[in-house]
Amino acid sequence: MLSDSPRLEVVQGDLTPYRDGNIGVEYVHRFESGRPGPHVLINALTHGNEICGMVAARHLLDQGVRPLVGTLTVSFAHVEAYNAFDATQPFENRQIVHNLNRIWSDEWLDGPEDSPELRRARALRPVVAAADHILDLHSTSQDVLPFWVYPAYARNAALALAIGRPAVHLVMPQGLGSGTPLIQHGRHGVDDGPAGAAVVAECGQHFLQATADMAVAVTLDFLGHFGLIEREPQPAPAPQRRFELLQTRMVKTPEFRFVRPLVGFEVFAKDEVIATDGDEEIRSPCEDCTVLMPARVPIVGREGVYLTRPL
């Protein structure tokens, strides 16, 4: 069901104690093992109200997790948006001006515009560029199954399938179509480049404890996969379900409406109407079209819905 006044199970908490970091970039903490191995970045709060990553990052820092090999970097990306949290409007502080997860192209980062997100992305740029493997922790407006999101590069699929949790995958053969996400910055956006894996985990509904628990578990799985921590073998992964992103439909008019309330994972037959946007009909481009991340409240100029098909 649509959650207009969601349960706020996870305490936001004050992140000021984490501000200084140790590499000269606020809210970024790096730990070197002194041994050869990959450089892994665990990134939280790309969106200000997606607080599961904050819980996972704090878990690593508060528990004093240190890498056995390679390098571990932990970052809180958009603390300015996080700090704008208002419990009466908990969906409002996803971003301040720009979507911090759509501006990771050279055009935006080197461009003339300014915003809180662009300033932060410019500060984080060397942090993201330095990482071999990136886990970017996100969550969803609606209480739906957790899922991976990643460009359709073999290295990403291999990683996500090996970890197997979440058991649902949203694969992007053509990118997002609405900008460049953090996980496709620089060499991580090149199919055959010398990059490691870079993936998003959508861990569940923003404010639920189960979502924070999932973020912690996926983070530990990720670090264990690359040998940075010792990790007991995990239960056998559930059957994996993979979806291919076909279209990202943007909201063009204030009249954007879904034909019925959608939360994600609803299935449409070919040519069935999914939404209307002013005079335009958004129809299913294929059989078994599965919608993901339908906008809770459509906002002109932002993403309305992802249209996918099962692989």
Provide the H-helix boundaries in 164-229.
Answer: 209-225
Region of 24-32, 137-145, 171-179, 279-287 interacting with Zn ion (CB under 5 A):
137-145
State how far the Cα of 269 lies from the Cα of 209, in Å rounded to an integer: 35
Q: C-beta of 306: minimal distance to Zn ion in Å?
A: 13
Backbone angles phi, psi at 299, to 5 degrees: -125, 125
Which of 133, 116, 137, 126 is closest to 47 using CA atoms? 137
Kindly state whether residue 29 participates in binding Zn ion, applying the rule CB under 5 A. Answer: no
Q: C-beta of 178: minimal distance to Zn ion in Å?
A: 13
Kindly state whether residue 138 participates in binding Zn ion, applying the rule CB under 5 A. Answer: yes
State how far the Cα of 51 lies from the Cα of 45, in Å rounded to an integer: 6
Site string for Zn ion, 164-193 (x = CB under 5 A): ------------------------------
Kindly state whether residue 47 participates in binding Zn ion, applying the rule CB under 5 A. Answer: yes
In the numeric block, the tokens 């493997």 are attached to: 133
CA-to-CA dists, residue 284 to 109, 127, 175, 269, 308, angstroms = 35, 39, 19, 6, 9
Kindly state whether residue 39 participates in binding Zn ion, applying the rule CB under 5 A. Answer: no
Region of 10-18, 29-37, 48-56, 162-170 interacting with Zn ion (CB under 5 A):
48-56
Give all strands (DSSP E) within 145-197, no chain letters: 147-151, 168-172
Q: End-to-end CA distance of the chain, in Å?
A: 27
Closer CB to Zn ion, residue 268 or residue 306? 306
Kindly state whether residue 78 participates in binding Zn ion, applying the rule CB under 5 A. Answer: no
Residue nearest to Zn ion as judged by C-beta position: 138
Region of 59-67, 130-138, 254-262, 273-281 interacting with Zn ion (CB under 5 A):
130-138
Region of 39-47, 53-61, 148-156, 291-299 interacting with Zn ion (CB under 5 A):
39-47
- Write out the residues near Zn ion by the rule CB under 5 A: 47, 50, 138
